[in-house]
Each structure stands twice: as C-alpha cells, then as structure tokens.
Amino acid sequence: MTELLTITYRSFSCLRKPIEGISAILSESLDRNQRLGITGLLLFDGAYFLQTIEGPSAETRSVYTKIVSDARHADVTPLRIRLIRERVFPTWRMKLIGPAATARIVPDMDGLDFAYKRLDEIHLAAKQVARPEPEQSYLLH
C-alpha cells in the first residue's frame, strides 16, 4: 500500500490582488493535485494561508517543496508533517475556504499555538462549513 503523508503549514500572503491570485493558484493546483493524487484544504483569511496537503509520500513532499519556494507567499512555517493511514479530505483536490469562513474557524491565525489537537479541530470545522456545498465549488465565500 502507498504510504500517505500529510503536511500542514501556515504562511503569509504576498498576493496584491487576492481574488485573482487565489484563482490562479487553484487553477494550477487542481489538475496537478488530481494527477499526483493529492487532496487537501486551503484556508485564506486575506492575510494568512493555512494549507494541508495529503497524498502519496513522494508526491506530497515534492509539491510541498514547490509551494515553499513560491513567491506568492512568505514565512512558510510547517506545523505538522506526518504519515497517515487514511486521508482527511479524500474528495477535495484542494478546497478553498475563503476569508469570512476562515476568520470564523481560525480567528487567531497570527498568534495561534498550533497544537496538533487544534489542527484537527480546524479540519473538522472546515469540513462542516464546506459540507453544504457541491464538491466542485471552489469560490471564495
């Protein structure tokens, strides 16, 4: 069985035009993630990104390496990297949670103490927010 890896990081956005910038990131990511078997979640509050990517170990590491050196964000801080038995977001090639919902789910993004338990709570809350929407909806909300 393929080894599955999950990586969560927080970073600071350098996007000058956030809506256009996010759309570009997602359109690049969706196809590649599907091809590589990567799924995950991207929270964006207008200032910070909090992203989780999960998938086959080698592919997930290689996408993370690209992400870290992407000039569209800075201060990429890894928060959790670990092997998992099953995915948390099996149907999301990359689900965007926009500023309003992100501010509700992670109001303390800048000073947050990212304990592992807190990340699990954030993941759960994001899934609850996103559930009423069709899977293919990647709009800001």
Told to check if 73 binds ligand FMN by CB under 6 A, we report: yes
Of 39, 51, 52, 102, which one interacts with ligand FMN (CB under 6 A)?
Answer: 51
Q: How far is the CB of 85 from ligand FMN (least distance, A)?
A: 21
Told to check if 39 binds ligand FMN by CB under 6 A, we report: no
Q: Identify any residues that bridge with 82 across adjacent strands, giving them in sequence order.
A: 6
Query: With CB under 6 A as the contact rule, which of the stretches 60-68, 79-87, 108-116, 126-134 interacts with ligand FMN?
Result: 60-68
Q: Which two tokens stand for residue 76?
A: 């990429």
Best CA proximity match to 43, nearest among 53, 30, 33 = 53
Query: With CB under 6 A as the contact rule, which of the stretches 61-69, 105-113, 116-124, 130-138 interacts with ligand FMN?
Result: 61-69
Task: Say if CB 54 and CB 87 are below 8 A apart.
Answer: yes
Task: Say if CB 29 and CB 111 are below 8 A apart.
Answer: no
Alpha-carbon span 60 to 62, nearest angstrom: 5
Alpha-carbon span 49 to 98, nearest angstrom: 10
Q: How far is the CB of 79 from ligand FMN (least distance, A)?
A: 14
Q: Which residues bind ligand FMN (CB under 6 A)?
A: 25, 28-29, 32-33, 42, 49, 51, 53, 63, 66-67, 70, 72-73, 94
